[in-house]
Amino acid sequence: MRLLEVEDLTVSFATPDGVVEAVRGLSFGVDEGQTLGIVGESGSGKSVATQTIAGLTRGATISGRAVFDGEDLLTMSHQELRWVRGARIGMIFQDPLSSLHPYYRVGWQIVELIRNHTELTRREAQARAVELLGMVGIPQPEERTRNFPHQFSGGMRQRAMIAMALALNPKLLVADEPTTALDVTVQAQILELMQRLQREFGIAIIMITHDLGVVAGMADEVLVMYAGRAMELADRRELYYRPHHPYTAGLLNSIPETGHRSEPLRPISGQPPSLIDPPQGCPFRPRCAYVMDQCTEQPPLRVIDGGITPHRTACWLPGNYTGYDDASADRRTAYADAARTPKVVGAKGGGQ
Amino acid sequence: MSARGTTPQTPPVPVETDVLVHLEDVVKHFPVRSSSLLRRNVGYVHAVDGVTLDVYRGETLGLVGESGCGKSTLARCITRLHDVTSGRIELNGTDVTNLSRRQLQPFRREMQMIFQDPFGSLNPRRRVGSIIGDPFAIHGIVSGAERKKAVQDLMSQVGLNPEHYNRFPADFSGGQRQRIGVARALALKPKLIVCDEPVSALDVSIQAQVINLLLELQREYSLTYVFIAHDLGLVQRISTRVAVMYLGQVIEVAAGEDLGSHPRHPYSAALLSASPIADPDAAAKRERLVLRGDVPSPISPPPACRFHPRCPKAEAICREQAPPLVSLPGDDEAHLVACHFPLADGERLAYRDAEPEQATA
Amino acid sequence: MSVGPEMSELVEEAIAPAGQTPRGIEGRSPWQLAWERLRHDKVAIASAVTIVLIVLMAICAPLVAKIVGHGPNTQYSFGTSDSGLPVGPSSKFLFGADELGRDVFVRVFYGARISLLAGVVASLLAVAAGVIIGLLAGYLGRIVDTVLSRFMDVVLSMPYLIFAIALVSVVGPSLSVSIAVIAFFSFAAVGRVVRGQVLSLSQREFVEAARSLGAGPIRIMFVDILPNVLAQVIVYATLLVPAAIVFEATLSFFGLGVTPPTATWGGMIAEAQNYYQVAWWMLVMPSVFLLLLTLAFNLLGDSVRDAFDPRYTRTTAK
């Protein structure tokens, strides 16, 4: 059994402008000790989905199942969920101040959290807080527990938030764009820290990001979302080297690092759809170069042939849409060779 | 300069003498005031601290660095939104450093700016047509029906529907708003456009659309860009030359690929190795130098070489003497670096002590 | 049920790319959007109707006097009883009579004129002065800001009643003096609000954009910044009117306002002080109208604020 298994999750909000269908029929799972990357642009529903699972979307209409460790999180009471959220699912966000209260000392906040959930004495909890801060790479952790969040730098606050999320030894860490507000060198520090902690404690991580580069180095599986739906879900290398959804391929192609200096960038034309009354069928249809009549019907997220590991895509024409830059072409070819006979379903010219 | 082909996207290699903007020892300090009643100055933010840099006609000069490195302040000094503390700014051979607002007016037509925030850079209470027509109104040129036509031409040029002339910014998406900003900057047919992180607030797929638009316009109007970004990959892709800034100073200038393949400054190398790449195997293979600690406060920057507290190669001299920005023997003449111990090709950069990764305060 | 802030953020993220929701070629201005919302606000409509009715009262006061056949300042001998006490509401005096035998009904109508005039004119003056001073202080900064801000601080810290008493004892009471006093003591609050807004707006990129285009300070203040503070100012103005009306009533109450025998609500309430135990109508009638008018303006002000800043109401899930 998987650690977290989400099935057919649907989330919508009523707003005066209409019903926002933020997440539509999303299914995915994470195993113990694994990292799942969820990649999507703004409005893709990636944050809404995970926040719903953690019970942070009050006022939304929710359906589906999210079974964590044998229990459905979506049917839990608010009280129970809060318990799970602190103790068994740790959360970190883009803005550390969403978990660190600005008016209380960092150490005090961690101690309170520990004491709320465990039988530890104040002294023991204090020792644990110092240990946690040391573990996430904060120098002089003992003194730092007496600081207020504003006395920490951005990267340091992120570390403190990670320490807090890990305080109760959760099995799952949900990281919602944890490095987006940080500079690249600090981002590298935080990503390295997360990988180290995962190795040491075998914690499962769901990493939500808009940046394909962030999860390329650390995710086991990657889920690509668009307009509230799962577009593609595959092993990391499968996804990057053999994308089977035009949207994933388009995203990879839009990245400036890919392609030659002499060429213009290769954007996806058009705009993401409105989630109020989204287009019928595949939401990517209006921007897709391979659109056909069948696309007015939503393709299911299904396993395609030829992958080394299970590779799921929600496209009626799951061709191999590479066309990625030459620098990685060799690796891609090597990867495709390893797959021996990659059967390209459909007759599309998009692949190589 | 290193082998750089004249491809459609790359402007021709600039001739040294064809300098459009010349910056000489530009310094910009912001006073830090105490919060007490008297508001005494208690120090200065050394936002830009002695930048000497040329921008050649027709090139794209990329300006990269992390937050607080002074790249945006430098941009605002170039466009004279900030008065500089000291130093000299020449536009087209004319010293514009101390010109008054009125004296500056003719030069304003030659340099324009595109801003980062697609929400903040357009007045929410004004119609798009009047926002794009602003340059005409302010400079008292093109009026009436002619102005409307000019604005609509600009709109179609940047890929907006000219019929949306009477809409408000709120009716547009982020990418479209940046196009509005581009149209406004283009209105007076400037020579120089300073782009302050024009795409960093946009989604990847939309980013590429706006970048392509900028590149097309550059070709069509022989524009010169100063392109500011924190994304080194993007800057390398589109810039003729890249200048790397750290704590108010330019520490390395080089052609895009040259910087990518032969970074000389340890900070540039660290920046390169830290930027995420969307290629799992390449990401796994490359050697990462994860810098320790955070960027120090620009209120009291470290003396001499500002990078020395975080630099794995730092020695005594780095703490005592600031290295000049020079070209190294054997390197391309245009490749400048400010380092006492520049990296050799293929040199591995790592902290010598084996202490576990720990951030410094 | 109201929802937490995290939820409204999520909704915003979710609908963020929906900027291109189909709207005609002509975009609707923020004003039009606010007007739309206001039109659907029942409280706002009720308040507006009340205000309009009271304005009509003020306009029609002479007509009413003619119909009833009682002048506002005429003392009727049958308005007081034999023992000299005012007579209560009857077919002769709908709202009763006062201690001098004047018709309270007619006087309430005439009183509406003074209240509205003082309230609206003083508020307009205060808002105009406040906006200009706030703009100058906020945008020009430095010494201009220091001087103007300190001046506003001084005004706000002055005991206005004592100041009014002193002023009136020198120049004598009149409607224009009342209005001047009210405007003088109200502009500083507006000025401060505007200054704060301007300070934060000046940091916005669209102001930088205007400066980089070469726009001068006057253009930036009035073309770029003013439209963005106007919504706030209008909200403030609708809340200032009732305050000014009460202010005027207070001045009249203390005999510092309009000179008797001109009818004002404040003055009528003051006169009722000695008689309300035997003649409740003298106190109740003007008070009810004063309350209605100020309440209507206050509620309208709240609705206007909500209309301009829909965030308060927008993400309230049903």
For residue A204, give the H/E element and its range. Answer: strand A204-209
Distance CA(C212)–CA(B108), nearest Å, equals 7
Partners of B60 on chain A (C-beta within 8 Å) are none
Most confident of A140-144, C15-19, C156-160: A140-144
Please spell the DSSP secondary structure of C16-60, one letter per residue.
GGGGG----SSPPPHHHHHHHHHHT-HHHHHHHHHHHHHHHHHHH
Distances in whole angstroms, Cα of residue A336 to Cα of each of A232, A342, B306, C25, C129: 18, 7, 47, 49, 74
Predicted confidence (pLDDT) at residue A29 exceeds the cutoff of 80: yes
Partners of C317 on chain A (C-beta within 8 Å) are 13-14, 59-60
Partners of A48 on chain C (C-beta within 8 Å) are 10, 13-14
Report A:13-42 residues touching B (Cβ under 8 A): 41-42
For tokens 């794995």, the residue is B312
Look at A14-23, A251-260, B77-86, C80-89 and tell me which has the smallest mean pLDDT.
C80-89
For residue A35, give the H/E element and its range. Answer: strand A35-39
Question: What is the pLDDT averaged over residues B3-26?
Answer: 63
**Closest C-alpha among B312, B315, B317, B318 to residue B352:** B312
Please spell the DSSP secondary structure of C182-213, one letter per residue.
HHHHHHHHHHHHHHHHHHHHHTSHHHHHHHHH
Cis peptide before C261 (omega within 30 of 0): yes
Question: What is the pLDDT averaged over residues B161-176?
Answer: 87
User: ipTM for the complex?
Assistant: 0.81
In sequence order, what are the beta bridge partners of B244?
Answer: B64, B252
Q: Report the residue from C13, C17, C310 with minimal CB separation from A274.
A: C17
For residue C235, give the H/E element and its range. Answer: helix C226-253
Please spell the DSSP secondary structure of B239-290, one letter per residue.
-SEEEEEETTEEEEEEEHHHHHH---SHHHHHHHHHS--S-HHHHHHSPP--
Q: Report the residue from B121, B122, B173 with minimal CB separation from C20.
A: B173
pLDDT for the residue numbered B78: 92
Q: Do C27 and B127 touch (CB under 8 A)?
A: yes
Q: Do B171 and C23 touch (CB under 8 A)?
A: yes
pLDDT for the residue numbered B352: 64
Distances in whole angstroms, Cα of residue A264 to Cα of each of A258, A259, A290: 11, 9, 21
- The residues on C that touch B, with CB distances below 8 Å, are 16-17, 19-21, 23, 25-30, 204-206, 208-216, 219, 224, 227-228, 230
Partners of C213 on chain B (C-beta within 8 Å) are 108, 112, 134-135, 138-139, 184
pLDDT for the residue numbered B332: 83
Q: Report the residue from B204, B230, B282 with minimal CB separation from A255.
A: B204
Q: What is residue A6's three-state secondary structure?
A: strand
pLDDT for the residue numbered B136: 92
Residues 6 or more apart whose Cβ sits within 8 Å of residue B257: A261, B2, B4, B236
Residue type, B334: A
Question: What is the pLDDT averaged over residues C169-175?
Answer: 81
Task: State pTM to two decimals.
Answer: 0.81
Q: What is residue A283's three-state secondary structure?
A: coil
Residues B203 and A41: beta-carbon distance below 8 Å: yes
Confidence band of C271 (pLDDT split at 50, 70, 90): confident
Q: Quick count: other Cβ atoms within 10 Å of Cβ B140?
A: 8
- Per the model's pLDDT, the better-predicted residue between A137 and A262 turns out to be A137
Question: What is the pLDDT averaged over residues B143-169?
Answer: 89
Chain B residue whose CA is closest to A335: B281
Residues A271 and A283: beta-carbon distance below 8 Å: no
Report residue A18 CA to chain centroid gap: 27
Q: Do B208 and A266 touch (CB under 8 A)?
A: yes
For tokens 């100020």, the residue is C294
Q: What does residue A31 show for φ and ψ, rounded to 5 degrees?
A: -95, 165
Predicted confidence (pLDDT) at residue B359 exceeds the cutoff of 60: no
Predicted confidence (pLDDT) at residue B17 exceeds the cutoff of 70: no
User: B275 to chain C nearest CA, in Å?
Assistant: 26
Predicted confidence (pLDDT) at residue C70 exceeds the cutoff of 80: no
Distance CA(A175)–CA(A165), nearest Å, equals 10
> How many Cα atoms sit within 13 Å of B218 on the Cβ side?
28
Chain B residue whose CA is closest to C18: B173
Q: Do C14 and A271 touch (CB under 8 A)?
A: no
pLDDT for the residue numbered B10: 46
pLDDT for the residue numbered B266: 92
Distance CA(A188)–CA(C39), nearest Å, equals 53
pLDDT for the residue numbered A339: 46
Confidence band of A83 (pLDDT split at 50, 70, 90): confident
The number of C-beta contacts closer than 8 angstroms across A and B is 164
Q: Report the residue from A138, A156, A212 with minimal CB separation from B278.
A: A212
pLDDT for the residue numbered A185: 83
Which chains have at least 3 CB atom pairs separated by less than 8 Å from chain B? A, C
Q: Report the residue from B7, B278, B356 with minimal CB separation from A252.
A: B278
User: C316 to chain B nearest CA, in Å?
Assistant: 21
Residues B61 and B238: beta-carbon distance below 8 Å: no
Chain B residue whose CA is closest to C219: B138
pLDDT for the residue numbered A159: 87
Q: Do A43 and C17 touch (CB under 8 A)?
A: yes
Report residue B183 CA to chain centroid gap: 20
pLDDT for the residue numbered B353: 59
Predicted confidence (pLDDT) at residue C16 exceeds the cutoff of 70: no
Chain A residue whose CA is closest to C4: A58
Q: Report the residue from B112, B166, B181 with minimal CB separation from C26.
A: B166
Residues 6 or more apart whose Cβ sits within 8 Å of residue B350: B289, B312
Per DSSP, A339 falls in state T
Task: Give the pLDDT confidence of C101-136 residue by residue, as tens digits.
Answer: 787 788 888 888 888 888 888 889 999 999 999 999
pLDDT for the residue numbered B16: 53
For residue C306, give the H/E element and its range. Answer: helix C280-308
A257 interfaces chain B, CB cutoff of 8 Å: yes
Q: Do A267 and B207 touch (CB under 8 A)?
A: yes
Q: Report the residue from A41, A59, A228 with minimal CB separation from C317.
A: A59
pLDDT for the residue numbered A346: 37
Predicted confidence (pLDDT) at residue A330 exceeds the cutoff of 70: no
Task: Give the pLDDT confidence of C184-207 residue by residue, as tens digits.
Answer: 888 888 898 899 889 888 888 899
A332 interfaces chain B, CB cutoff of 8 Å: no
Residues 6 or more apart whose Cβ sits within 8 Å of residue A159: A133, A136, A137, A138, A190, A193, B359
User: B279 to chain A nearest CA, in Å?
Assistant: 6
Partners of A248 on chain B (C-beta within 8 Å) are none
pLDDT for the residue numbered B265: 93
Partners of C20 on chain B (C-beta within 8 Å) are 171-173, 176
Partners of B230 on chain A (C-beta within 8 Å) are 183-184
b (16+ CB within 10 A) / e for C145-161: beebbeebeebeeeebe
Please give the angle made by the CA atoms of A286, A288 and A293, to the nearest 5 degrees.
75
User: C214 to chain B nearest CA, in Å?
Assistant: 6
Distance CA(C231)–CA(C228), nearest Å, equals 7
Residues 6 or more apart whose Cβ sits within 8 Å of residue B247: B46, B49, B68, B69, B70, B295, B296, B298, B301, B302, B306, B307
Residues A139 and B361: beta-carbon distance below 8 Å: yes
- The residues on A that touch C, with CB distances below 8 Å, are 13-17, 20, 22, 41-43, 45, 47-48, 51, 56-60, 98, 228, 271-276
